[in-house]
Amino acid sequence: MKRLSFLFAILVMASVPFFTSCSKDTTTADVKPTINFIGGTGFTSGDVTLNAGDAIKVGISAFSNSSSKAKLKNLKVVRTFNNTPFVALDSTFSTTDAFNITLESFAYPAAGTERWTFTITDKDGESAEISFNITTTTTSAGGPIKSYNQVILGSYDNSAYGSSFASSDGTVYTLANAKTNAAKIDWMYYYGATNNATLASPNDATVTEIFTSSTNGPSTWSVRNDTRFAKVNLPSGLTWDSITTDLEIITLATGISDTKTNLLTAGQIVAFNTVAGKKGLIKIESITGTGAGSITYSVKVQE
């Protein structure tokens, strides 16, 4: 499964309404919907202190007003860290009476306090909200990382730049040199008719379809590393330049599973995990041309 974003990575139970004949006592003046946290083992339902990047699960139960019977139509979740708000979820639906949802994500990957606010709104525009604070702490300063800036890879018809990359030392290899250094190659670049700009594990099936040389193509390599990828979003308040240890990288690159990342565009961030267990991030700087074109990116990876 692709990691959709750090800030709400997984929607465990989709926005599925259920109906009930029960109602709660209200006055005609009380026209707002009701929203509550679902408690219990494993759920966060109030202020809590966690390690940065810890997994978190939140359950929400909302009810339409029993007198107005206005249908519930929207749940919005806003996460605010260092006074910077981020809309982590903005879900639209339509249901009368009751709505339950379970969400999973991660605590912010740096020390500080983050406020999570959950707002339910009905079709009449009436709303109710609940919130809690998560105080994050770090148990270490994070491990060292290596950075490679403005790396250029060429696609399959580019004669100026190699298509293969080793994240262990930042070396770009031509196809012939990649074969003799196959154990070091973590990914290859190509621009395909369907996938467009793509970074792929040497073990991904598409690379043998693109790089077809019977002499040096990946099908002739002694080793084809199985690197995994996922497009990710940096948490609000975190910038590429501010990533100086592997704390944030570990959080973003954990649990990823794709053997290639395609349809790349400038500005995207891609997490990766090598067969050697090294986690890292790639920032796409620019993409030029197609089959004879190139990609420029920067890398931050665990030492």
- Domain limits at 241? 145-302
| Beta strand pairing call for 48-51 and 127-137 | parallel
What is the rounded distance in angstroms from the CA atom of residue 268 to the CA atom of residue 286?
10
What is the rounded distance in angstroms from the CA atom of residue 192 to the CA atom of residue 24?
58
Residue 283: phi and psi, rounded to 5, are -110, 120
Strands across the sheet with 228-232, in order? 145-154, 294-302, 279-288, 269-273, 228-232
**Could you identify the residue written with the tokens 């620019």?**
286
Sequence letter at residue 5: S
What is the rounded distance in angstroms from the CA atom of residue 155 to the CA atom of residue 293?
6
Task: Tell me the per-residue pLDDT of 94-148, one tens digit each, with 9 for 90 and over.
Answer: 987 789 999 999 888 888 899 999 999 999 999 999 999 999 987 666 899 999 9
Q: Is 112 found in the same domain as 217?
A: no
Q: Is 295 found in the same domain as 217?
A: yes
Last residue of a domain, one of 137, 153, 175: 137
The answer to the question of residue 2 being in a domain is no
Maximum CA extent, the chain = 80
Last residue of a domain, one of 137, 156, 184: 137
The answer to the question of residue 1 being in a domain is no
Return the structure tokens found at 51: 């390690």
Label each residue of 136-188 as H, E or C. EECCCCCCCEEEEEEEEEECCCCCCCCCEEECCCCEEECHHHHHHCHHHCCEE
Q: Is 202 found in the same domain as 60?
A: no
pTM as predicted: 0.64
Q: Residue 18 above 80 pLDDT?
A: no
| Structure confidence at residue 203 (pLDDT) | 97
What is the rounded distance in angstroms from the CA atom of residue 303 to the CA atom of residue 169?
10
Task: Tell me the per-residue pLDDT of 30-86, one tens digit each, with 9 for 90 and over.
Answer: 689 999 999 999 999 999 999 888 889 999 999 998 787 789 999 999 999 988 898
Nearest to 235 by CA among 27, 23, 53: 53
Task: Tell me the per-residue pLDDT of 182-208, one tens digit each, with 9 for 90 and over.
Answer: 999 999 999 999 999 999 999 999 999
Strand intervals (E) in the chain: 10-13, 17-18, 34-38, 48-51, 55-63, 72-81, 84-95, 98-106, 112-122, 127-137, 145-154, 164-166, 171-173, 187-192, 196-200, 228-232, 260-261, 269-273, 279-288, 294-302
Number of independent structural domains in the chain: 2
* Whole-number Cα distances in Å, 80 to 131, 132, 183, 234: 11, 11, 43, 14
12 vs 30, which has greater pLDDT?
30
Sequence letter at residue 231: K
Last residue of a domain, one of 137, 163, 182: 137
